[in-house]
Amino acid sequence: MLAYIGRRLLATIPVMAVVAVLVFSMLRLTPGDPAAIIAGAAANSQDIIDIRQKLGLDRPIVEQFAIWIGHVLSGDFGESFFFKKQVADLILDRVGPTLALATFTMVWSVLIAVPLGVIAANRQGTWVDRLVMGFSVLGFSVPVFVIGYTLVYVFSIRLNWLPVQGYQPIAEGLGGFLQRLILPSLTLSVIYIALIARIARTSIL
């Protein structure tokens, strides 16, 4: 098992290398001068030259790639132009909400899909089975953003039960934390509910 996992991890190295080259190439070869954009409209030629030297944009493309990949491997993703903060800090700020959203999405998926699949299998050929399978088809067919807008309109705008947007850390209150996760996690879970319900139904049959 460990040998298999090791081979799979080694197999990802060439893929990651190709992705790194493609990403770097797109960043460097797209039209426009990053130094001029960072300097702003009021900057003079010397300001642009100074920024280009500071960022290493005046060096050969191969050397730029070596410096860039070295920074990435060391966890230094640079500074965000828009937020004026380290990119690594911005990523860490979003790890908590991302994990919470992913966890709640999977919880919704399992709690709803498995009972639906069991009910559909036990009622095979009836209107209940057709209803569950119809929902499964819709779950695959309807875009996620349509489901999201519909849930927001019904539960946030019309019924005023849940907030429209935002995130509240669990440390600031469990109620607000849960309220702000219900709609987005339920929206993302629809396609998984459709998939797991079909799998559960087929497995039971």
The tens digit of pLDDT for each residue in 99-132 reads 988 999 998 888 988 888 888 888 888 888 888 8
Mean pLDDT of 94-102: 88
Q: Per-residue pLDDT for 149 more than 80?
A: yes
pLDDT digits (tens, 9 = 90+) for 68-87: 888 888 877 777 777 778 87
Sign of CA dihedral 11, 12, 14, 18: positive
Can you give the pLDDT at residue 1? Answer: 60
| Cα 205 to Cα 48: distance, rounded to the nearest angstrom | 68
pLDDT at 66: 84
* Contact criterion met (CB below 8 Å) for 204 and 123: no
pLDDT band with cut points at 50, 70 and 90 for residue 2: low
Q: What does DSSP assign to residue 59?
A: S
pLDDT of residue 20: 82
Residue 150 has pLDDT above 80, yes or no: yes
Separation between Cα atoms, residue 205 and residue 201, nearest integer Å: 6
Q: Are the C-beta atoms of 152 and 164 separated by less than 8 Å? A: yes
Mean pLDDT computed over every residue of the chain: 82
Residues in the chain: 205
> Residue 164 pLDDT more than 70?
yes
Q: How far is CA 101 from CA 87, 120, 161, 164, 183, in A?
A: 21, 28, 19, 15, 10
- How far does Cα 199 stand from its chain's mean position? 25
**Contact at 8 Å (CB) between 20 and 72?**
yes
